[in-house]
A and B are shown apart, each in its own frame.
Chain A
Amino acid sequence: MSSAWRVTTAVGLFAVAVVGIIFAVLGLLSQPPTVDFTAGHSAGQPVDVTLQTVGSYGSGDHPTWVSYLTESPQGQWVHTTLWQLPAHTRVNMTIYNYDSGSPLRNQQIGQVTGTIGHVALLNGKPVRVINSNAGNGVGHTFSIPTLGINVPLYGNNGNANLCAAAPCTVSSPHQIFKFSFTTPGPGQYPWQCFVPCGLGFLFGNGGPMQTIGYMDGFMKVSA
């Protein structure tokens, strides 16, 4: 083999390796989009965040997975759990739960904690504890463990004609939760659902429960 041929093959293999690595890194870095609530926000004003939960996303890579969705300030439902929020600001949260519920593995998460007034409004009525063994049970929770925030989301009747493809509209059975909290200083705060709702996974905690964009996300607080 001539040395030109050697150099060519060496450089060629090197290029292939570099392209492969870049491709892999880009694949690993891909994340759901971040919904920005800071744009156009004036200091001191509360931020309104609206979420919905759906029992099965209905399309995409994982159509059977349960998921959260976020409504962007422009009113679009975005399949993401990443938000950008201003620091030290009151967040008025509204969550539409379109999923059914069940008894909790640990009723400890049936309590409302960490919100302003330690209370959440379920369809307009204040609740502090939801008995997951009664009624429709709890479908999901909205929890930011580092801030001590936990809001159990009362479920819909599992026998009703539930929404099975996101984004759901209020024509489907739903429960509306409203509560408020204040964002802390800058940083990234994980939030998640604590109800083991990953259908088909042992203990219900696999799949969507361990994937950013479904039942896990980050609240990115900027100064």
Chain B
Amino acid sequence: MSETDAGSTASVSDPPATSQSQAETHHWWRLIAIWVVLSAILDPLFYFLAGPHIPPGKMTTTAGGAQFDFNVLLVIALPVLLAIWIFMIYAIVMWRASRGGPEPEGGETARGNTSVQLGWILTTTVIVLFLAGFGTYALVQPNGAGGGQGSSPIWTPTSKTVLPVQVIGQQWKFTYRYPTFGGFETTELVIPDNTTIAFHVTSLDVIHSFWAYQLGVKADANPAYDNVAFTTTSQMGTFIVRCSELCGIWHGAMYNSGVVVTPTQFESWATATEKRLATNTKLLPPFAYTYVPDANGADGGYYPDNIDPYSPVETYGAPQPGQGKGSGSGK
């Protein structure tokens, strides 16, 4: 939608013309003129100068989509804000009591005007329906726009080469598992460029939220629940990951950075890391989309399945030393 279109839809929301008198037409045209000029200046100014720099940038398709969506909203919002502000400032300047002026007229004309009211309702309805429609398109088209879609996503990518990356939130850090590389688990988040990534976000305890800022991805990490978010990388570089759901004392310190590298670099990093962490990977539970560790935690003892004296086998379902298998029992 161009700026002029946005402008004309919002124009009906401008001042009510309550009668056809000369003075009123005068106010009316003056207001419209100010508004059209300011909108026509500020909208392109914003769109072309600030628009390309609006977060979250263009590192992925979803980030780019969010940026475009934000800009469209702002281009529509600016004329609306201007219309109301201009009207208020105009009213304050022109119709303040200290300026003298005629006594206001009461009566039916001042109590309402069917065409103004209908015009207002129609205009706002059109804007709102357009925004809802556009928002739905912007949500569906880039596979859910980087938001967590739960365990059964409906806007899935058509690309055949989707790299699954599991994000495990826990108090108070994120770890990442790469199921296609033997399921190693690391605190480093490395993903290849020009690839569709499926983030499978889950938690081992309370709710966290995986916010890969520059990737335009955000998905809550719920315990024992797989929350999937898709994105397709289109630029290389580093990005920040923060927890954006309050999860306890170290919520504010729950961040790290990830990096988008070339597919070849990624391949070599992943195979090397798989090899380096092989000892520990064997001790991990087998890869699963959700993990249901005992809610008591180590020594937790909250729910009454705890027994006394404390036994890791009883409370934790953990195998006896020497039997292998991991602590979190994969589902």
Direct contact of A and B (CB under 8 A): yes
Q: Is the interface of A mostly helix, strand, loop or mixed?
A: loop
Of the listed stretches A2-10, A34-42, A129-137, A179-187, chain B binds A129-137
A192 contacts B by Cβ under 8 Å: yes
**A103 and B298 in contact, given A133-B321, A145-B173, A216-B250 (Cβ under 8 angstroms):** yes
B156 contacts A by Cβ under 8 Å: no
Contact of A190 among B175, B248, B253, B299 (CB under 8 A): B253
B316 touches A194 (CB 8 A): no
B328 contacts A by Cβ under 8 Å: yes
B327 touches A104 (CB 8 A): yes
**A105 and B310 in contact, given A133-B319, A198-B300 (Cβ under 8 angstroms):** no
B205 contacts A by Cβ under 8 Å: yes
Looking across the interface, which residue of chain A has its beta carbon closest to that of B174? Answer: A145
A134 touches B322 (CB 8 A): yes
Contact of B299 among A129, A199, A211 (CB under 8 A): A199
B301 touches A200 (CB 8 A): yes
Interface string of A94-136 (1 = CB under 8 A from B): 0000001011111110110100000000000000110111110
Residues of B within 8 A of A199 (CB): 299-301
A195 touches B321 (CB 8 A): no
**A192 and B250 in contact, given A106-B168, A134-B322, A159-B309 (Cβ under 8 angstroms):** yes
Using C-beta atoms within 8 Å of the partner chain, give the interface range for chain A: 35 or more
B284 touches A105 (CB 8 A): no
Of the listed stretches A12-20, A72-80, A167-175, A202-210, chain B binds A202-210
A91 contacts B by Cβ under 8 Å: no
Residues of B within 8 A of A106 (CB): 168, 170, 175, 185, 204, 327-328
- Docked pose: A121 CA to B3 CA in angstroms: 67
Looking across the interface, which residue of chain A has its beta carbon closest to that of B294? Answer: A105
B253 touches A146 (CB 8 A): yes
- Docked pose: A211 CA to B250 CA in angstroms: 10
Q: Is the interface of B mostly helix, strand, loop or mixed?
A: loop
Within B291-329, the residues touching A (CB, 8 Å) are 293, 295-303, 309-310, 312, 316, 318-319, 321-328
B50 contacts A by Cβ under 8 Å: no
B21 contacts A by Cβ under 8 Å: no
**A196 and B327 in contact, given A111-B280, A158-B309, A204-B300 (Cβ under 8 angstroms):** no
Looking across the interface, which residue of chain A has its beta carbon closest to that of B175? Answer: A108
- Docked pose: A203 CA to B172 CA in angstroms: 13
A197, A200, A203: residue with the most chain B Cβ atoms closer than 10 Å: A203
Chain A interface residues toward B at CB < 8 A? 66, 100, 102-108, 110-111, 113, 128-129, 131-135, 137, 145-146, 148, 158-159, 190, 192, 194-205, 209-212, 216
Q: List 10 A-B contacts (CB under 8 A).
A: A105-B293, A110-B280, A111-B280, A145-B172, A202-B295, A202-B297, A202-B300, A203-B302, A205-B206, A210-B248
**Top 3 A-B pairs, shortest CB-CB distance:** A204-B297, A204-B300, A196-B297
Additional A-B contacts beyond A194-B173, A202-B302 (16; CB < 8 A): A105-B297, A106-B328, A107-B285, A108-B186, A108-B187, A133-B318, A133-B327, A137-B312, A145-B187, A148-B187, A196-B205, A196-B300, A198-B299, A201-B300, A202-B295, A205-B205
